[in-house]
Amino acid sequence: MPTRKLNLEHARRLLGEVCGFLKEDSSEIADFIIPANEALFLTSYTSAFIPVNDKYALRFTGEPPSFFELISLKWERGFYRNIISLWNARIEASFIGTDSFVKLLDYFRESLDKDKHLILIDTEPYYDERFGVFYERIIEDVFDKIKSSKLSPSNFVIWMGLNGEDFWIYLSAVLFRKMGYIAGYYNLGAGDVSAYYISEYIKKLKNKKLISCGAFLEELGMLPQKSFLKCKEADKVEDELVLIEAESTDKSTIYSGVSQVIEFMHRAPMYYTHAYVAGPYAKPEKISEDWIGLISCDENGRLIFKEAKRFRETKKEAIDLVKMIMKSYLLRNFTLEEKLHLIGERTRSLEEYIGKLIDLDIETILEELRI
């Protein structure tokens, strides 16, 4: 069986089909126009970046230790290396912080709050069997295009390597986000990306009009977020914890991807209720276990979505763990002083401070979230 990776034409088609927030770039400078906040999330879930100049670029990591990173565009062995953290990170996922994440973004609103031109790069023409991909040539060609546009480099997002796993990680996360789930890299012990349907919390967030559909975990710390998604929500009776394993080829999707999912779902802590494999040109009938779902595309680059069957009942301790993580992201919207106000007293004990924040109920957090 020959191995196949996603081609650029089909990548464009899938992104256009799944990502309702993308618009065609009528100027023909780039492939799409992407809203500013979606551009940040794209750079968090993929290798895409926002160039500062022809030497450095910006990526939104979305997690400690660096919410933002400055990366070098000088490649070593085919990939760039991180050289400096733009801001000293707060360990917000552990409820420790001295400033709100949203205020940090507000400070740079002028440059970060503009729609971007998204350029998709096919690396195949730059590939050499002896030396691999010549990334330096890609950067030269990209900046020739940027200079001809007479726009600032920060008006662009560059995404190369669309035939890798991160394309399917991102596409899967956006797809579940459209269906009303909270998606993110945070996992319960396995998988490339996860999606959580926690009905109690999602309903409360919607009632407060803080989200209108699903969300990335990172969005919960950047409220409110204007949604550009066209929701396709399904009615859910039970909470779901979804594991997604991404692969880069059709062969690895139906073989190694499936075998990894089976292993992940049977090993401790055994929390996930549903599982999917994601990768190009895989057919549902080729998936050896009927409970495993599939996110793929057909020979014309059209989305294939086979819904997974429930593998196990939802465990309360798993739901409680995901709820705590969701609360930790919501608390990124507060300064340290505001968090101290939330717990009702000033404490000098770190252990007591963290314990009181963990014990906060979501109603209290949302009531104090003044947006």
For 103-142, how does the pLDDT look when each residue is reduced to its tens digit (9 = 90+)?
A: 656 666 666 678 999 999 988 887 777 766 777 888 889 9
Beta strands in the chain (DSSP E): 23-24, 32-34, 50-51, 56-63, 66-72, 82-85, 116-121, 127-128, 132-133, 156-160, 182-184, 193-197, 215-216, 240-246, 274-278, 293-297, 303-306
pTM assigned to the model:
0.89
> Within a domain: residue 193?
no
> Within a domain: residue 186?
no
Q: 23-24 and 32-34 as β-strands: parallel, antiparallel, unpaired?
A: antiparallel
> Within a domain: residue 348?
no
Which one is predicted more confidently, 333 or 168?
168
CB-CB contact of 174 with 19 (8 Å)? yes
Report angle CA 198, 202, 207 to the nearest 5 degrees.
155
- How many beta carbons lie within 10 A of that of residue 247, not counting itself? 25
SS3 state of residue 192:
coil
Mean pLDDT of 17-44: 93
Name, in order, each residue with C-beta under 8 angstroms of 205's C-beta and a sequence gap of 6 or more: 211, 215, 220, 366
- Distance, C-alpha 253 to centroid of its chain: 20
pLDDT value at position 80?
A: 42
In the chain, how many domains are there?
1
- Reported confidence tier of residue 183, pLDDT bands at 50, 70, 90: very high
* Mean pLDDT (the chain, rounded): 85
Mean pLDDT of 87-116: 53
- How many beta carbons lie within 10 A of that of residue 277, not counting itself? 32
pLDDT reading at 77 higher than 50: no
> Within a domain: residue 315?
no
CB-CB contact of 191 with 243 (8 Å)? yes
> Within a domain: residue 260?
no
118 bridge partner residues: 32, 157
SS3 state of residue 330:
helix
Residue range(s) defining the domain that contains residue 121: 8-164
Look up residue 247 and give its amino acid: E
> Within a domain: residue 152?
yes
From residue 296, alpha-carbon distances to 19, 41, 159, 291, 299 in Å are: 15, 21, 20, 16, 10
pLDDT value at position 131?
A: 67
Phi-psi region of 224 (alpha: psi -120 to 50; beta: other; left: phi over 0): beta
Q: Where are the alpha helices (DSSP H) in 46-134?
A: 101-107, 109-112
Mean pLDDT of 66-88: 55
pLDDT reading at 92 higher than 90: no
- Reported confidence tier of residue 86, pLDDT bands at 50, 70, 90: very low
Mean pLDDT of 37-61: 89
pLDDT digits (tens, 9 = 90+) for 269-311: 899 999 999 999 999 999 999 999 999 999 999 999 999 999 9
pLDDT reading at 215 higher than 70: yes
Q: d(Cα 175, Cα 239) in Å, to the nearest integer?
A: 18
By mean pLDDT, which of 90-99, 124-133, 156-165 is the weakest? 90-99
> Within a domain: residue 36?
yes
Which one is predicted more confidently, 266 or 88?
266
Tokens representing 219 are 């969005």
Mean pLDDT of 192-204: 95
> Within a domain: residue 121?
yes
